[in-house]
Structures are given as structure tokens and as C-alpha cells.
């Protein structure tokens, strides 16, 4: 276990905000975490992962906790099906790469998503037609009050689009320690996402010859083309959740914008890309002070160097105001404001 006081969080948030915390604690086992819990009783605390979904608006006056549990173990096999238990502190993309290298398939579409494994279970991360909840089977947690280990099956986690019970009723009450994913030794590509199919076709990669390595490489290339290099430009990836509107609202917008991209959902509602709305509102490539909207993907807000969290928030508020005025849609941030 490591412990620091008056600690800079600059290395622990992808927005590159130089906020500080009173105390920073990193643990590498459940036993170490239990030893920390009594000290949290009378102070503010926050458990973070890779910091890819956080925006610090000010210094944090309490304890920041971080998991260094990074184990990967096969806990069960049944034919082609393999259950892999992984520590919450492992970098997510390293886990995806590990799985492909060891012939364990299913996570390829989630390549290069920033963050750590624990956050995958909290956020229900997703990309290119695949969500963590599609493959996740078990989440192991520690109760902050009792220190007891409590395991939850996927169906108990109330997964939805970029949400879970850990972001709602259990927020701040349970810390994720391990996540188990059900993968397969047989590679079956998920190519439901039209843009992904088009990219594969452009590269001459047909489904019958496509390998998991091919698919991962293409997804990484596409993401890097759209997103800023993390070491150079601070961002949190997608800043807003893609909004969902009812059919009536959708029909009104489609009449005004016949080329509007959209995705029909099983419940009859319609998902509209937030990036398209922001671009249509005239924000792509614009900046306010040292905060900007990424020119290649309007869904990404960036720290152009020296921006504070409040600068990013001001830009976010201005975008939300214009989108609501133009489309009657209230954008919701995917990023957590701290």
C-alpha cells in the first residue's frame, strides 16, 4: 500500500487537470483496502480508476483511493466458453490485448477504451455495438461500511446505457475489486455497427478472413484517427452521453434534418449521436480560452493546455445551451464532475 499527502492528481486524470487531494492511497489487495476503510468514516472520499471519466473542478479535500489489483485468472471453462476473473486496477486495453493474445475472444470491439477494468463494470462501457454488460457475469465488491466482500451477478447490477447500480443507489457504498467476463475460444466478430463494416470493406477485410487481431487493429486505428493523443491533449474521450428521444420528438427533428444519423431502439425510442448535435450547433473545432471542441470529433472536449476544470465546465454549459435551443434536447455528461 502506498500513501501520499497533498498529492497532485495530474497523473490520474486524462483531462490533465492539476488538482490536488488531501490524501492519496493505492492498495493492492482486499485486505489492504479493509485497513483503509475505518479512516474514511469522517471524511470525504472518492475511488478512482484511470481518471478517464473525471473532471476535477477544484482540489479534493479528502482521500482519493485507487486499486492496484491487476490479476488475471481463468476461473472456469466449459467447451469454448471461458470465465476470466480480472482485478479492477488493470488497464482496460491491456486486458483486451491480453485476452486476444491468449485466444480469448469477445472484447475486440472495446479496444482502446480508456480506463481500468473496475470502471468497465461501473460505467458499462461500450463501442461499435458491444457493451461490457453483454459479456460481464460477476462483479466482486467490498462494502465500504462493513468491509464485507459482496458479489453481484450481472443481472443484479441494473445495467443500462452507460449506467449501472454502482453509479446510482450503490454509488460510494461499494468498491469494485474484481470483475469476471465470459469469453470464448471461438472468434465470432461483432460487425453490427455500419461504420465498422464500411472501414473493414475499405481495407479489403471480409468477414470470412477477418481475425481478432485484424478487428482490434482497425478499431484502434479508427479511434486514434478521431480522438486526440492522450499524452499530448487532455480529454476524457466522449464527454456526453448520446441522447435518447421519443418517436414523436425524433419525427419532428427528422423532418427538419433528413440526413440526421439515428439508431432505432427496441423500446421504440431513438438514439441520436451527441457529436452530430454538437457539430450542427456549430461547436466542432471551436474553443473558449484553453478549452476546446476536438475538430475531428465534436463529442470530445479538450484541455488545450493550462485549462482548469471550470474552464471545461463553462465550455460544456455553453454547448448544452445551444443544443437545447436548437434541438430541444438536454445533453447529459458522461464525465463525472468532482
pTM value > 0.75: yes
Summarised one tens digit per residue, pLDDT across range 98-108 is 999 999 999 99
Mean pLDDT of the chain: 95
Summarised one tens digit per residue, pLDDT across range 132-145 is 999 999 999 999 99
**pLDDT category of residue 34 using cuts at 50, 70 and 90:** very high
Which residues face 76 on adjacent strands?
A: 83
Summarised one tens digit per residue, pLDDT across range 230-246 is 888 999 989 999 999 99
**pLDDT category of residue 195 using cuts at 50, 70 and 90:** confident
**pLDDT category of residue 270 using cuts at 50, 70 and 90:** very high
pLDDT score, position 162: 87
Catalytic residue numbers?
162, 238, 334
Query: Running DSSP on this structure, what letter comes out for residue 202?
Result: H
pLDDT score, position 227: 87
* pLDDT above 90: residue 253: yes
**pLDDT category of residue 207 using cuts at 50, 70 and 90:** confident
Measured between alpha carbons, how far apart are the two ends of the chain, in Å? 24
Q: What is the dihedral of CA 215, 300, 67, 25, to 10 degrees?
A: 160
C-beta separation of 68 from 89 below 8 A: yes
Mean pLDDT of 201-205: 90
Amino acid at each position: 500500500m502506498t500513501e501520499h499527502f497533498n498529492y497532485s492528481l495530474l497523473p490520474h486524470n486524462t483531462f490533465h487537470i492539476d488538482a490536488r487531494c488531501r490524501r492519496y492511497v493505492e492498495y493492492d489487495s482486499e485486505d489492504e483496502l479493509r485497513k483503509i476503510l475505518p479512516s474514511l468514516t469522517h471524511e470525504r472520499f472518492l475511488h478512482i480508476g484511470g481518471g478517464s471519466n473525471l473532471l476535477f473542478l477544484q482540489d479534493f479535500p479528502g482521500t482519493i483511493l485507487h486499486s492496484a489489483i491487476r490479476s488475471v485468472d481463468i476461473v472456469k471453462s466449459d467447451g469454448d466458453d471461458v470465465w476470466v476473473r480480472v482485478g479492477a486496477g488493470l488497464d482496460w486495453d491491456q486486458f483486451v490485448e491480453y485476452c486476444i493474445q491468449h485466444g480469448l475472444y469477445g472484447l475486440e470491439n472495446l479496444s482502446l477504451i480508456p480506463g481500468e477494468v473496475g470502471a468497465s463494470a461501473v460505467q458499462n462501457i461500450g463501442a461499435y455495438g458491444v457493451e461490457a454488460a453483454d459479456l460481464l457475469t460477476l462483479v466482486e465488491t467490498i462494502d465500504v461500511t462493513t468491509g464485507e466482500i459482496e458479489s453481484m451477478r450481472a443481472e443484479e447490477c441494473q445495467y443500462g446505457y452507460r449506467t449501472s447500480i454502482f453509479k446510482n443507489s450503490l454509488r460510494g457504498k461499494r468498491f469494485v475489486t474484481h470483475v469476471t467476463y465470459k469469453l470464448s475460444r471461438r472468434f465470432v466478430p461483432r460487425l453490427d455497427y455500419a461504420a465498422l463494416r464500411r472501414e473493414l470493406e475499405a481495407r479489403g477485410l471480409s468477414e470470412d478472413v477477418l481475425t481478432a487481431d485484424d478487428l482490434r487493429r482497425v478499431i484502434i486505428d479508427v479511434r486514434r484517427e478521431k480522438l486526440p493523443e492522450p499524452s499530448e491533449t487532455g480529454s476524457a474521450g466522449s464527454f456526453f452521453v448520446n441522447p435518447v428521444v421519443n418517436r414523436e420528438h425524433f419525427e419532428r427533428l427528422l423532418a427538419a434534418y433528413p440526413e440526421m444519423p439515428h439508431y432505432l431502439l427496441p423500446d421504440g425510442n431513438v438514439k441520436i449521436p451527441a457529436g452530430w448535435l454538437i457539430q450542427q450547433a456549430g461547436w466542432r473545432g471551436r474553443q473558449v480560452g484553453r478549452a476546446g471542441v476536438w475538430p475531428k470529433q465534436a463529442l470530445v472536449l479538450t484541455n488545450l493546455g493550462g485549462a482548469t476544470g471550470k474552464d471545461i465546465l463553462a465550455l460544456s454549459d455553453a454547448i448544452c445551451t445551444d443544443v437545447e435551443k436548437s434541438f430541444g434536447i438536454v445533453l447529459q455528461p458522461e464525465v463525472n464532475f468532482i
